[in-house]
């Protein structure tokens, strides 16, 4: 299956999920009762009549142009989305095309954002806060990332950090935390700039370290969280280490 149309004014379909279809090219959807959509491995997405759609999960390529294209394909429902999940292949965007706030549309109802991505070497995770700054009414931010080390000769781009406050974010969940410098850098930003933060959830499952036995990685990650995060968390913020 490479092209699919899910269209009809009388469709009662509420949830549509298409994954592991590696030859999939295009999807056209017109379904008045659809509330959630998950699509991976696609080139073209056309949404026409989806007035009830509030939750979307998509996979993007590794460049900002692809992110802009995805938002363009969501244009008919972008203002009504409440939950958005984006899978980014890699954080290593090209230097000529960094993430800019102008590339994100206004999403006034978005209250939960999930980012799945890979980080390389000492590449800063703080660049992900561009999403937080773009969606100022966000209440929950979930980061799920995998980390791997680059060979020394590979060049890693460093980001300029724009430290602006976030006045609505209440919950931050960090999946794949291990305790590296880039982990601490992002958590420091969250604690400093999320002024109404209520809870931080640390989930070490999926954490990777080349210097630690696989069986001990999660144990070490939990220990690092207790030692390095807990002393810096204010009393009014709940820290949960899974």
Query: Confidence class of residue 182 from pLDDT cuts 50, 70 and 90?
Result: confident
Higher pLDDT, 27 or 100: 27
The residue assigned the tokens 């604690």 is: 191
Q: Tell me which H or E stretch contains 84.
A: strand 83-88
- Bridge partners (DSSP) of residue 142 are 114, 173
70 pLDDT exceeds 90? Answer: no
Q: How confident is the model at residue 152 (pLDDT cuts 50, 70, 90)?
A: very low
pTM: 0.81
Q: Which residue has the higher pLDDT, 120 or 70?
A: 70
Tokens standing for residue 79: 């203002």
The C-alpha atoms of residue 208 and residue 214 are separated, in whole angstroms, by 8
Task: Please tell me the predicted confidence (pLDDT) of residue 55.
Answer: 96
Can you give the pLDDT at residue 108?
A: 84
Structure confidence at residue 110 as a pLDDT band (50, 70, 90): very high
Q: Given CA atoms 11, 72, 63, 179 in this order, what sign does their dihedral have?
A: negative
> What is the pairing mode between strands 199-203 and 171-175?
parallel
pLDDT, residue 150, reads 46
Say whether pLDDT at 223 is over 80.
yes
- Which pLDDT band holds residue 238 (cuts at 50, 70, 90)? very high
Higher per-residue pLDDT: 163 or 108: 108
d(CA 236, CA 231): 13
d(CA 227, CA 179) in angstroms, rounded, equals: 10
pLDDT (mean) for 111-120: 82
């Amino acid at each position: 299956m490479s092209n699919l149309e899910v269209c009809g004014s009388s469709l009662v379909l509420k949830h549509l999920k298409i994954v592991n279809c590696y030859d999939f090219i295009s999807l056209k959807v017109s379904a008045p009762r659809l509330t959630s959509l998950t699509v991976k491995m696609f080139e073209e997405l056309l949404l026409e009549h989806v007035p009830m759609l509030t939750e979307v999960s998509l996979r993007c390529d590794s460049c900002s142009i692809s992110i802009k294209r995805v938002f363009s394909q969501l244009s008919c429902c972008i203002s009504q989305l409440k939950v958005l999940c984006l899978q980014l292949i890699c954080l290593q965007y090209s230097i000529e095309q960094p993430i800019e706030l102008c590339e994100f549309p206004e999403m006034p109802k978005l209250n939960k954002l999930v980012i799945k991505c890979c980080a390389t070497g000492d590449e800063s995770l703080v660049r992900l806060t561009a999403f937080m700054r773009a969606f100022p009414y966000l209440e929950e931010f979930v980061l799920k990332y995998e980390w791997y080390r680059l060979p020394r000769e590979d060049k890693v781009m460093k980001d300029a950090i724009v430290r602006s406050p976030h006045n609505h974010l209440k919950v931050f969940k960090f999946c794949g935390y291990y305790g590296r410098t880039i982990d601490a850098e992002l958590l420091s930003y969250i604690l400093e700039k999320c002024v109404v933060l209520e809870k931080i959830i640390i989930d070490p499952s999926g954490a990777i370290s080349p210097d630690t036995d696989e069986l001990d990685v999660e144990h070490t990650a939990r220990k690092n969280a207790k030692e390095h995060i807990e002393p810096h968390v204010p009393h009014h913020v709940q820290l949960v280490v899974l």
